[in-house]
Each structure stands twice: as C-alpha cells, then as structure tokens.
Amino acid sequence: MKAKKKPASTIALNKKARHEYFLEDKFEAGLQLEGWEVKSIRSGKVNISDSYVILKNGEAYLLGAQIQPLSQASSHVVCDPDRTRKLLLKQRELDTLIGKSEREGYTIVATAMYWKKAWVKLEIYLAKGKKDHDKRDTIKDRDWAREKERMMKHKVR
C-alpha cells in the first residue's frame, strides 16, 4: 500500500521581501477570509508580492494582497480582490508588533502564505528596509558563497 502524497503546502511567496528588507522576527498569522477567497486560494490565484501589514486600533490588517475570484464564482457575492483582510494574532504578538513598528521604525512584511492543516496561514516578519549598498553587499556575499562552494566541490575530486 502506497502512502498518499502530501500536496505542497506553500500557496504564495514574496521573494522580493528578502531582497528589499532585513528580516528579523518571524510571526505566523491566520487570515480572516470569505468563502470565495478560500476557493480561489485552493486554485492558486493569489499574489502577495506587494503586500504589507498595517496596525490600526490594536489590530493587524493585510493590505496589497490580491486574491483573484474564480470565473465560476457565485454571482450574488461581491468579490473584491484587493480588500483589506484582518490578521488573526495573539494579543502578545500584536503588542510586540505595535511596539517595534511604532517605536523602533520596523515595517511588517508578508513573506509567505501556506496551508497548515485546513487553515490558511501567513508568515510575516518585522523588517528594516535595506539601502542600495546593503543590497549590493548581499548579492556580493551570496555570489562569493556560491563560488566558494564550487571551489570546495572541485578540490574534493
């Protein structure tokens, strides 16, 4: 008897975030979604590359994430692909996010959306913006690490 293959749990990634920011503290947040959004997420119609989190009235909201409605979606439901979605976090996590973003100037960036059992989760980070020279340093370090791996690989042979 063969084991069932587990489908990939990652829904969407924000690869640009690692290039644009220094990512520091990681949080996992749930999303308050509507039915049509879950169906669209299951079919992979999600884009979080330009999304970010704002804090208002002691709550966190996701802005800029696009969930495109399915073409066969119900006609009596108004589908807004760019709507603001509430993030579900514990109070202690919210307090940490509010404190660091207001006092220390951090930005809150969404980096990944994934399935955790039957729930859609969002991976968010407290992040500081990179300057142009920081981005160049990161690229240079990554290239050097790759080159070092190549040299070590050839020395072993």
For residue 74, the model assigns a pLDDT of: 62
In a domain, 139, yes or no: no
In a domain, 22, yes or no: yes
Q: Is the pTM of this model over 0.85?
A: no
In a domain, 28, yes or no: yes
In a domain, 144, yes or no: no
Whether 4 has a pLDDT exceeding 70, the answer reads no
- The total number of structural domains that make up the chain: 1
For residue 107, the model assigns a pLDDT of: 87
Q: What is the 3-state secondary structure (H, E, C) of 52-70?
A: EEEEECCEEEEECCEECCC
How many residues would you count in the chain?
157
In a domain, 54, yes or no: yes
Long-range contacts of 46-50 (CB under 8 A, 24+ apart): 46/11, 46/12, 46/113, 47/12, 48/12, 48/13, 48/14, 48/110, 48/112, 48/113, 48/122, 49/14, 49/15, 49/16
Provide the domain limits for residue 48.
10-130
For residue 106, the model assigns a pLDDT of: 85
Higher pLDDT, 74 or 97: 97
Centre a 10 Å sphere on the Cβ of residue 70 and count the other Cβ atoms it contains.
13
In a domain, 123, yes or no: yes
For 12-39, what is the mean pLDDT? 86
CATH number for position 82: 2.40.280.10
Whether 147 has a pLDDT exceeding 60, the answer reads yes
What are 150's two structure tokens?
A: 């190549």
For residue 62, the model assigns a pLDDT of: 92
In a domain, 142, yes or no: no
In a domain, 145, yes or no: no
DSSP string spanning 33-57?
Answer: --HHHHHHHHTT-EE-TT-EEEEET
Q: How confident is the model at residue 122 (pLDDT cuts 50, 70, 90)?
A: very high
154: phi then psi, degrees, rounded to nearest 5: -75, -30
Higher pLDDT, 145 or 71: 145
Please report where in the chains the tokens 């290039």 appear, as a residue. Answer: 19
